[in-house]
Structure 1
Amino acid sequence: MAVSRVLLLAAVILASTVAGAAPAPFTHPGVLVSRAQLDFVRGRVQANAQPWKAAFDQLIASSYASTSRKPKARSVVECGPYSNPNNGCTDEREDAIAAYTDALAWYVTRNAAYAAAAIRLMDGWSATITSHTNSNAPLQTGWAGSSWARAAEIIRYTYTGGWPQLSRFSTMLRNVYLPVVIKGSNSNGNWELTMMEAAVGISVFLDDKSSYDTAMAKYLARVPAYVYLTSDGALPKVTPGSGLNTRDKIIAYWQGQSTFVDGLTQETCRDFVHTGYGIASISDVAETSRIQGNDLYSGEVGTRLRYALGFQAQYELGAAPPSWLCKGSVKRGLGPVTEVGFNAMSFRLGNTMTNTRTLTERNRPAGTNNLFVAWGTLTHAQNPN
């Protein structure tokens, strides 16, 4: 029996790895946004077209776009439950988002001051940080690592003004961030999805095919265990090694929910905020994979993402939950997380997605959640590339 389980696990990992295998070579810039996507955004902003111009104005007006921002780096970032204690947690996340914000501002405006600002933030942290600690360390590493990788890709591959400390920044990602996030997590699903987003992005930046394959395998195992489809059977799927080997354990892990329908997520009955984190990372990894030549949107990942967006969107818009769902009460607050997935599944692939469209358009321009989601309307609204 033990041998059978080992063989099954090996088969799952092998299938996932093949399905999401690293390209040869990687496309750069290629973490969440490609050069073609950036060119599209730049053209729309220069043409004063909406919603991109409003989204860019929002970005530029934010504190993240300040060219005088100084990094608040520290050697050890300590993050307890819900970032309490918060010793550098907010500073690190916001500096990473600011670097990504400056990188986008640089590409659209070609103002080198923005590129220099992004580099200054990345250099400040690469010269200082050595580790993350306390209970939220893995999640914190994933949040910040996701933004660092996006920012670094844009600057490295589009800015010609030089980045003398590029090697040091690469070493930081390889030694401080990647070893933590690549391990994954058996906590709530948004943890592992965020960590895999960081791992995939960092692997692209480092041209690390082995780590990319490992991260994609874990992502492709986690997505079916996070978003339920009727085809899964009476109970949701679980990830290998999760220990969720009974019906009672699975229901407890799904926040006590015992009725399962298409698009329900493992954290729907926890709250929509954390559900939004999971949906965002599912979308972001799929987008990076598409840029790297493997379109996950057209398969199972896309189907689960489409249903997850639609299911949460209807209640986020105000629909009353039935008595069988979360005991008749949901905690709304999905956040600015729908643009990437909606663009892929509706605008590119033609799915109707009425509720998701209404929610996405209502929330435009989508800004940032101050953790790792940022500027989705600018980068992905009606972006055909």
Structure 2
Amino acid sequence: MPTNDEQKFSLKRRSVCASGVGLATLGPLGLAGCGGGDKVDPPLPAASAAAMGSMTGQQAAVGARRFVHPGLLHTQDDFTRMRTKVAENAQPWASGFARLTSNGRAQLGARPRALQTVIRGGPGENFAQMYIDIARTYQLALRWKVTGNKDYADLAVVFLNAWSSTMTAINGDTNAALAAGIYGYQWANAAEIMRTYPGWAAPDLARFQALMLNVFYEANHRFLVNHNGAKITNYWANWDQCNLASMLAIGVLCDRPDIYDEALGYYKSGTENGASSQAVYYLHPGYLGQWQESGRDQGHCTLGIGLASVFCEMAWNQGDDLYGYDNNRFLAGAEYVAKSNLQDATGAFYGVPFASYRNSHYFTASLALGAQGHHRPVWELIHNHYVNRKGLAAPYTAMMAKLLGPEGDGNNGDQLGFGTLTFSRDPVKPGAAPSGLSAIWSGRQMVLSWWGSAGASSYTVKRATVRGGPYTTVKSGITDLLSYTDSELASGVYYYVVTAQGPAGESAASGEAKGYAGVHAHTRLPMNQTTGTTATDSSGNGRNASLVNGPAWVAGRSGARALAFDGVDDYLSLPQDALADLSDFTIAAWVYWDGGRNWARVFDFGLGTMHYMMLTPCANDGLMRFAVTTNHGIGEQTISGTAALPTGQWVHVAVTLSGRTGTLYVNGAPVGSNPDIRHAPFRLGATSQNWIGRSQYESDPYFNGKIADFCIFRGALSQGSVATLLSGQPGSAVESPVSLDPNTGESIGVQQRSTFCEV
């Protein structure tokens, strides 16, 4: 089990070199090593080697996917729009084109300065020579597409051919990985534009594709697999994201679906910092998505936003919507970073909420003020997708785009620039309904968040007690943060919708969100069966658990039944996404632990060693521990007891979370608490490994003992109500805490009699 020094991670890795970062040299066939040149990378797994395929540019088996060309940052429809708008002298395209034509790198007459070996970081650094030539190639390609003047196309081809016939390696310290990522995706975009030009000979295109595969993709792949041998959270999001962008772009340019899908899969479900759920670390109310590097400095935040946006746009142009992935998670991050770097009318920076963040070498509890107010020309792409393409509101992104427009070149090679020309779109018709409404019971209040509509001036929240209404208005005139907290609710189930007010009046209602106030049954596994391979959920919610590898039905406490786990390989598995909409909660069970090694699990719900929530009878410090994390072991938020779970006897254990306050109980008495548990179960995402008796970590022992009456409640039971769970015999009729005050968690009267643990 990991501790705060992150002893474990999901991939086996060697320790970092020297100072803990690890020097590396990226060559045409891989990473040379740390310090003395020893290899830091183990041989590639067979599956990874197969995914890499031939490094000669030969296309792998295509399968069902067919790529659109040109189809990276710009499609042919995009170029048609640019040409038409510039010819009409329409704004803002005309001013964006003027920024391009006035740039020194967009002119005829320059000659390439191709290098055999590009060095970024360390002695002999020369990478600026390459990014200047990339900028020239890209800008010449744009001028050709907008004007039709082949002189620009011919010169762009000269640059592409010079580099593909000369360059063989990227070297340097660890920063060589940044060069492989940033300049890889930029070169691929310039080449993707030019591939449709008849004046670029097919053998020359093939040679350029070979350069991208043999040097850039090879380096991208090795970095993402091995991260220079570093711990899993060592490299910040932008390191992964530039390499993902390069990999995705090379997949399209070289017609390699395997490479494209490798990047896509990593972004959606990877375990390192550049994956979607790791880059946008924490969603605050109103879908303000705290960026992973927001406690580091604002320059790196805007870099990460720029890199993630080009990744999303390139995938969009191939039919994959990563902009909308996980309820527009990237937009949440973009809005947070934009707001962090904007000033209000008084000149003060806008305030944003902040959740503490820890990785393998850094901890921060507040927003970084370093480089605050950082302006980077990356916002037009994001604004035009979400607002003018999809009709969503993105107020802070829009403010950034307006502030920086018309966008010019790319800030010393970090991005390609000229987004006003290339990404501007005519606005959509206003009046769309809000979307993405959620209702989360947290801290005994219902917290609503939603996505706004382009052109809306305010929003109205409506509530009902039956599905579909009728609804009563509870709040109108909501502006700015798209969130509302509904307080002082009686225990029950509520249904919410939100409408937008705009130029044409009130919009249609959003989709309906269901919220549970107070305490409600979620899952109950009495484990009172005698046979079968399924532990039946008696709550009525259908969350039956599967017996895996043969846990045995045995006698339990006081004549009831239980499940016995052998400590070798058996466990219970609950359905996927078992905790997907759970915030405040109570988990309770009767446990008979036979002892054994540390880090066994009473339960462990998650999707691997990146996101999980667990309870162990004994951690390395000799204490019972609850932990939840969305950032591997290093990011655990914990509650420790005062001792290990007693062995050889039935013990009742419970964990509650109310808002941020988590409490651990043994036999009805609190034994530990933490007032800053921010990772409620719903923040774990789509959990696929929801286990009783087994850990997310393969090396941890399985649970050895018996478990009975495993219950999950929506809402946090009070101490008195937790004690009530101990008052009756299993299966007997006892008073149930079914009616609890949603503001205090205390019983307000017994409305029915029920079997033990049911509410």
- Report the TM range for the smaller structure's normalisation: 0.7 to 0.9
2-structure distance, mates of 1:107, 1:46: 13
Paired residue total: 338
Counterpart secondary structure, 1:87: coil
Shift of 1:204: 0.2
Alignment map for 1:272-311 (pairs within 5 Å): 272-300=298-326, 303-311=328-336
2-structure distance, mates of 1:171, 1:327: 43
Equivalent pair of 2:387/2:394 in contact (CA under 8 Å): yes
Paired residue for 2:208?
A: 169
Shift of 1:312: 1.6
1:42 aligns with 2:42: no
Shift of 1:85: 4.3
Shift of 1:262: 3.3
Residue 283 to residue 383, structure 1, CA distance change in 2 (3 Å): farther
Q: How much identity, in percent, do the aligned residues show?
A: 30
1:224 aligns with 2:266: no
Counterpart secondary structure, 1:207: coil
1:98 aligns with 2:136: yes
Paired residue for 1:143?
A: 182
Equivalent pair of 1:182/1:211 in contact (CA under 8 Å): no
Equivalent pair of 1:93/1:144 in contact (CA under 8 Å): yes
Shift of 1:113: 1.0
1:376 to 419, 424, 429: 419
1:340 aligns with 2:381: yes
2-structure distance, mates of 1:328, 1:187: 18
Greater gyration radius: 2
2-structure distance, mates of 1:323, 1:150: 37
1:317 aligns with 2:342: yes
1:118 to 138, 148, 156: 156
The one-character-per-residue Cα deviations of 1:302-359 (angstroms, maximum 9, x if unpaired) are 6222112211222321225469673673522141111111111111111222221111
Structure 1: runs of 5+ lacking an equivalent: 7-12, 14-20, 233-260
Residue 66 to residue 153, structure 1, CA distance change in 2 (3 Å): same
Shift of 1:383: 6.1
Residue 57 to residue 181, structure 1, CA distance change in 2 (3 Å): same
Residue 349 to residue 376, structure 1, CA distance change in 2 (3 Å): same
Paired residue for 1:197?
A: 245
Shift of 1:116: 1.2
Paired residue for 1:188?
A: 236
Shift of 1:22: 8.9
2-structure distance, mates of 1:166, 1:349: 35
Shift of 1:162: 3.3
Equivalent pair of 2:284/2:290 in contact (CA under 8 Å): no
Residue 86 to residue 348, structure 1, CA distance change in 2 (3 Å): farther
The one-character-per-residue Cα deviations of 1:94-133 (angstroms, maximum 9, x if unpaired) are 2112111111111001111111111111111111111111
2-structure distance, mates of 1:328, 1:371: 24
Residue 78 to residue 35, structure 1, CA distance change in 2 (3 Å): same
Task: Tell me which amino acid in the other structure corresponds to 1:87.
Answer: E
Paired residue for 1:132?
A: 170
Paired residue for 2:117?
A: 76
1:153 aligns with 2:178: no
How large is the Cα RMSD of the aligned pairs?
A: 2.7
Shift of 1:231: 8.3
Paired residue for 1:267?
A: 293
Provide the TM-score with structure 1 as the length reference. Answer: 0.81
1-structure distance, mates of 2:93, 2:297: 30
Equivalent pair of 2:291/2:336 in contact (CA under 8 Å): no
Task: Tell me which amino acid in the other structure corresponds to 1:307.
Answer: A
**The structure with more strand, counted as a fraction of residues:** 2
Task: Tell me which amino acid in the other structure corresponds to 1:228.
Answer: Y
Task: Tell me which amino acid in the other structure corresponds to 2:179.
Answer: Q
Equivalent pair of 2:295/2:368 in contact (CA under 8 Å): no
Shift of 1:208: 0.5
1-structure distance, mates of 2:267, 2:383: 20
Task: Tell me which amino acid in the other structure corresponds to 2:235.
Answer: S
Q: Which has the higher contact order (CA 8 A, sep 6+)?
A: 1
2-structure distance, mates of 1:170, 1:126: 8
Paired residue for 2:601?
A: none
